[in-house]
Amino acid sequence: MNRLQRELLRLYAPQADARQDLDLDASGLVDAQGRVRAMVLELARPADWAALSAVWGGVQTDLALPAPAIAINGSDGCQLWFSLQEPVSIPQAGAFLDALRRSYLGDIAPVRVAMLPALDVTSARPPLHARPVPALQADSGLWSAFVASDLVPMFADEPWLDVPPNPDGQAQLLAPLKSIQPAEFELALPRLRPAAVPAAPELASNAAAQAAGSLDPKRFLLDVMNNDSLDLALRIEAAKALLPHFDAASQGRLT
């Protein structure tokens, strides 16, 4: 195993102690319980780093989160790769990414923004995740790659490499990056919600408590399910995750 593979496993494998032969293709980024440590926000058509850099800077200055990795996707966009210390469910990851989109990319057409992982609730297909980076794009013969923040503007018109990136150079870009700790992740969404997703009146009283302490998982999923400003697929998955917690005898109230 080379240095780049070790860094990719450290940051993005579904389990921090993943075995060294794990293949981190798109399916390998999701564990058997449907949880992830890698969350990817992509802006494409065109690869507008001036806009996406607001997210990159905002998560550090506004949310005090570690910097995500920056990548060009090898075809038409730029990506931010967020690493979590502990895996979360796909609805939780989606809610976080969607809150970032609404807060920092609200004036960007949603069709240009991809948030991965994503679930296809209309079929039984596995969750969709981002293609690995760096990787050869079979349809074009071009390469995706991680890039330094000061070099991203150079790829605005051509967000790809013609040749494979140097593995040691890619590893060097990833080595300083840190994973988001569980407590940091729990606090981030409530901090984003006032700007990104207006809280319903009955939930507003919980905002201060959530910002000051840990976020209750059932309440988090309930917030996602009830928030009609979120993507329907996320709300459906949150509802499915909550089903075991509903008691028929209590007329639909959480146990």
**CA pair distance 98, 146, nearest whole angstrom:** 23
Q: Considering only 18-32, 97-111, 117-131, 157-171, which range has the smallest mean pLDDT?
A: 18-32
**CA pair distance 47, 67, nearest whole angstrom:** 19
The closest alpha carbon to 53, from 38, 34, 70, 30, belongs to 70
Measured in Å, how far apart are the chain's first and last C-alpha atoms? 47
Is the confidence at residue 130, as pLDDT, over 60? Answer: yes
Greater confidence (198 vs 98) lies with 98
Report residue 197's pLDDT band, with 50, 70 and 90 as the boundaries. Answer: very low
Mean pLDDT of the residues in the chain = 82
Report residue 146's pLDDT band, with 50, 70 and 90 as the boundaries. Answer: very high
Instruction: Note the pLDDT of residue 232.
Output: 64
Do residues 98 and 221 share a domain? no
Q: Considering the chain, what percentage of its residues have pLDDT values greater than 90? A: 60
Is the confidence at residue 17, as pLDDT, over 80? Answer: no
Do residues 188 and 94 share a domain? no
Specify the number of domains making up the chain.
2
Q: Find out whether 45 and 99 touch, Cβ atoms under 8 Å.
A: no
Do residues 100 and 210 share a domain? no
Among 146, 174, 202, the domain boundary falls at: 174
Q: Considering the chain, what percentage of its residues have pLDDT values greater than 70? A: 71
Is the confidence at residue 251, as pLDDT, over 60? Answer: no
Report residue 36's pLDDT band, with 50, 70 and 90 as the boundaries. Answer: very high
**What is the arithmetic mean of pLDDT over 112-135?**
84
**What is the arithmetic mean of pLDDT over 5-17?**
88
Residue 255 within a domain:
no
Greater confidence (229 vs 80) lies with 80
Is the confidence at residue 112, as pLDDT, over 80? Answer: yes
Instruction: Note the pLDDT of residue 202.
Output: 35
Do residues 161 and 74 share a domain? yes
Do residues 138 and 216 share a domain? no
Which residue range forms the structural domain that includes residue 197? 182-250
The closest alpha carbon to 81, from 148, 12, 135, belongs to 12
Do residues 7 and 125 share a domain? yes
Among 108, 139, 174, the domain boundary falls at: 174
Greater confidence (216 vs 55) lies with 55
Residue 15 within a domain:
yes
**What is the arithmetic mean of pLDDT over 93-106?**
95
Instruction: Note the pLDDT of residue 192.
Output: 85
Instruction: Note the pLDDT of residue 204.
Output: 33
Report residue 28's pLDDT band, with 50, 70 and 90 as the boundaries. Answer: confident
Q: What global pTM score does this model have?
A: 0.75
Contacts of 233 (CB under 8 A, 6+ apart): 94, 118, 119, 120, 121
Report residue 233's pLDDT band, with 50, 70 and 90 as the boundaries. Answer: low
Instruction: Note the pLDDT of residue 117.
Output: 93
**CA pair distance 247, 255, nearest whole angstrom:** 6
**What is the arithmetic mean of pLDDT over 156-183?**
97
Report residue 242's pLDDT band, with 50, 70 and 90 as the boundaries. Answer: low
